[in-house]
Amino acid sequence: MAERFKGQKLSQSAILGLFGLGMFFLAFMVYPVLRVVWGAVRPEGRFTLAFFAVVFRNPLLKESILNSFKLSFTTTLVTLVVSLPLAYVLMRVRFAGRRWLSALVLVPLVMPPFVGAIGMRHLLARFGSVNLLLMDLGVIEHPITWLASGFGGVVVLQVLHLYPIMYLNLSSALANVDPSLEDAARNLGAGPWRRFRSVTLPLMMPGVFAGASIVFIWAFTDLGTPLIFGYQKLVPIQIFNKISEGSVDPTGYALVVLVLLLTLATFLVSKRVFSAGRYEMMPRGYISQQGTRAGALGTVAAHFCIGLLLVVALLPHISVVLRSVADRWFMTILPEKLTGEYFSALASHKLTASSIRNSVFYASASSLLDIALGVAIAYFLVRKMIPGRSLLDAMAMLPLALPGLVLAFGYIVAFSRTRLLDPLVNPVPLLVVAYAIRRLPFIVRAAYAGFQQVSPAFEEASFNLGAGWMQTIRRITVPLISANLIAGGLMCFAFAMLEVSASLVLALKQRFFPITKTIYFLFNRIGDGPSIASALGVIGMVLLAASILVSARLMGKRMGALFRM
């Protein structure tokens, strides 16, 4: 019945819906990116690659490129080292409390590193809480200076934020490995390490590379965390500085094109590497996936190691909370005196109050747009055999690989000095669209899962009774997949509230500032600015945590699919 349903002729409203989706992607994804590329190779109406050469000859830009690669490789490697044993233990070893720990390791997702950097910069300072504690315990005699450096601090924050995404990809890949292959290796005399190295890890490589690709690109294009730590010699910072100067020279275009080429190369390499090998396995029937049972010592060791990781991962959250209530905190491990005045200031401070209202509006509007787009895209992908179906799927997932900084830069280039969408005059429409595009894969995957679980017979019956495409979607399909849409919509709303790149680049006037732009603005203000910024970050953190918990309750085990390639 499903195949017959897919083969139905498209109605006029469905054709119009497809056309609208195509125009949306063309206007707000393809066109801005092409304008950036055009500005890099034809800045004065004639083709030239001279500005790419200028980028690599300029000492500052050359050093920024090298630093960005160094930062991304380091973050990706450390994240993999942290996540691989974590995924293996939680997936293949049985011990008391495993289910709770599997949920707790995802806690760092509730706050972007941009917000956590405010508190962590204080904790990791030369005479911050971490160094003072280690010196009091006698572990070190002198402060560890690399913790407070821009590079070290950014790596720590990025790893603590991104390891859950790597873990989700690795655990998914590990779940797909047939345990009978490992049993065969064990029967042939291979020890645990050799089995893992020669059987398990090679079969996990698609998930390893998928997670590594996301982490690498995310680390390379991260704008907020380096800004807070003052680590200026990075590609995203150089692009942001050129936009902030008010006039973008062609080297700025060239830098953005380099980021695009890096992103494209990463995914092309992954496709070539893994299309050359074969990773599929025979159907297994029923094979227990419970893994080996840990003894008392193993259970204690697992709880200690994972607990230690969680304590470290929660430091950004704890530090932001402490910074938001600390009345006096200097040369001491913990604040000497607490206060609630900074939270009170949120209601009375003109900029914070308006930014909260702005973010709620931007996030709400973008979430509604995401739901509309996500339902339409998922419907065509699951229910219709349309021409260009794979292209529509690729466009819907492209934001996973399209850095927010590139998209925001493209909007500045493509729509500045236009009549309706000039971000220099009123960035609200483009902020809403940018937020929506960045979170579109979340809602598409949530709606896709919903369509797969709902029999097309209900919609087919509606069509047979004379209902149109839009009426059927509105009255039959949407109510049946409402739990998926609410979960995906909440995720879109929560992450849009704390969007960094688009907010910093597009919101140039204070009356349009969202929460993240206000946090950055206040952090750079002398006096109580960093404390009020921390209080604002706590509000965002609580909102994001609540949204993720509700979404997880609605989507259950399918929640992890939102963060995988």
pLDDT confidence tier of residue 272, bands split at 50, 70 and 90: low
Give the Cα separation of 70 and 73 in Å (integer): 5
* Per-residue pLDDT tens digits for 360-416: 899 999 999 999 999 889 888 887 777 777 888 888 888 877 888 888 989 998 898
Once rounded to an integer, what is the mean pLDDT over residues 528-539? 86
Residue with tokens 């949920």: 103
Give the Cα separation of 414 and 433 in Å (integer): 14
Evaluated on CA atoms 415, 421, 426, 429, the torsion sign reads negative
Is residue 502 one of the residues assigned to a domain? no
pLDDT confidence tier of residue 431, bands split at 50, 70 and 90: very high
Is residue 131 one of the residues assigned to a domain? yes
**51 with 38: CB under 8 angstroms?**
no
Residue 516 has pLDDT above 70, yes or no: yes
Residue 306 has pLDDT above 80, yes or no: yes
Residues 6+ apart with CB under 8 A from 197: none
Question: Looking at the 3D structure of the chain, how many domains does it have?
Answer: 1
- For residue 466 the two structure tokens come to 């004379």
What pLDDT sits at residue 326?
Answer: 86
In this structure, how many other beta carbons lie within 10 angstroms of the beta carbon of residue 338? 13
What is the reported pTM? 0.80
Is residue 52 one of the residues assigned to a domain? no
3-state secondary structure of 89: helix
Q: SS3 sequence, 228-290?
A: HHCCCCCHHHHHHHHHHCCCCCHHHHHHHHHHHHHHHHHHHHHHHHHHCCCCCCCCCCCCCCC
Give the Cα separation of 493 and 554 in Å (integer): 15
pLDDT confidence tier of residue 290, bands split at 50, 70 and 90: low
Residue 349 has pLDDT above 70, yes or no: yes
Q: Which residue has the higher pLDDT, 507 or 543?
A: 507
Write out the H or E segment, with its range, that includes residue 338.
Answer: strand 337-338
- For residue 80 the two structure tokens come to 């993999």
pLDDT confidence tier of residue 7, bands split at 50, 70 and 90: very low
Give the Cα separation of 521 and 533 in Å (integer): 8
pLDDT confidence tier of residue 523, bands split at 50, 70 and 90: confident
Q: Which conformational region is residue 281 in: left (phi greater than 0), alpha (psi within -120 to 50 degrees), or beta?
A: beta
Is residue 445 one of the residues assigned to a domain? no
Give the Cα separation of 191 and 214 in Å (integer): 32
Give the Cα separation of 262 and 79 in Å (integer): 20
3-state secondary structure of 425: coil
Q: Report which of 541, 544, 521, 563 is spatially closest to residue 116, judged by C-alpha positions.
A: 541
**322 with 312: CB under 8 angstroms?**
no
What pLDDT sits at residue 120?
Answer: 81
What b/e readout covers 253-274, taking b as 16+ CB neighbours within 10 angstroms? bbbbbbbbebbeebbeebeeee
Query: Hey, which bits of 3-96 come out as E strands?
Result: 93-94
What pLDDT sits at residue 251?
Answer: 83
CATH for 323: 1.10.3720.10
**249 with 396: CB under 8 angstroms?**
no
Q: Which residues span the domain enclosing 92?
A: 63-276+296-338
Residues in the chain: 565
Rounded-to-10 torsion of CA 349, 353, 358, 360: 150
3-state secondary structure of 292: strand
pLDDT confidence tier of residue 4, bands split at 50, 70 and 90: very low
pLDDT confidence tier of residue 496, bands split at 50, 70 and 90: confident
Which of 77-91, 264-278, 404-418, 518-532 is predicted with the least confidence, judged by mean pLDDT? 264-278
- For residue 523 the two structure tokens come to 């952090």
Give the Cα separation of 220 and 211 in Å (integer): 14
What pLDDT sits at residue 3?
Answer: 46
At residue 45, what are phi and psi to the nearest 5 degrees? 90, 0
What pLDDT sits at residue 245?
Answer: 67
3-state secondary structure of 421: coil
* Per-residue pLDDT tens digits for 152-197: 889 988 998 889 888 888 887 887 777 777 778 777 777 777 888 7
- For residue 326 the two structure tokens come to 């600390």
Residue 347 has pLDDT above 80, yes or no: no
Q: Report which of 259, 271, 244 is spatially closest to residue 508, judged by C-alpha positions.
A: 244
Query: Hey, which bits of 409-477 come out as E strands?
Result: none
Is residue 326 one of the residues assigned to a domain? yes
* Per-residue pLDDT tens digits for 539-564: 888 877 777 677 666 655 555 554 54
Is residue 479 one of the residues assigned to a domain? no
Is residue 28 one of the residues assigned to a domain? no
β-partners of residue 292 are: 93
Residues 6+ apart with CB under 8 A from 313: 105, 107, 108, 160, 163
Q: Which residue has the higher pLDDT, 145 or 485?
A: 485
Is residue 24 one of the residues assigned to a domain? no
Give the Cα separation of 292 and 324 in Å (integer): 44
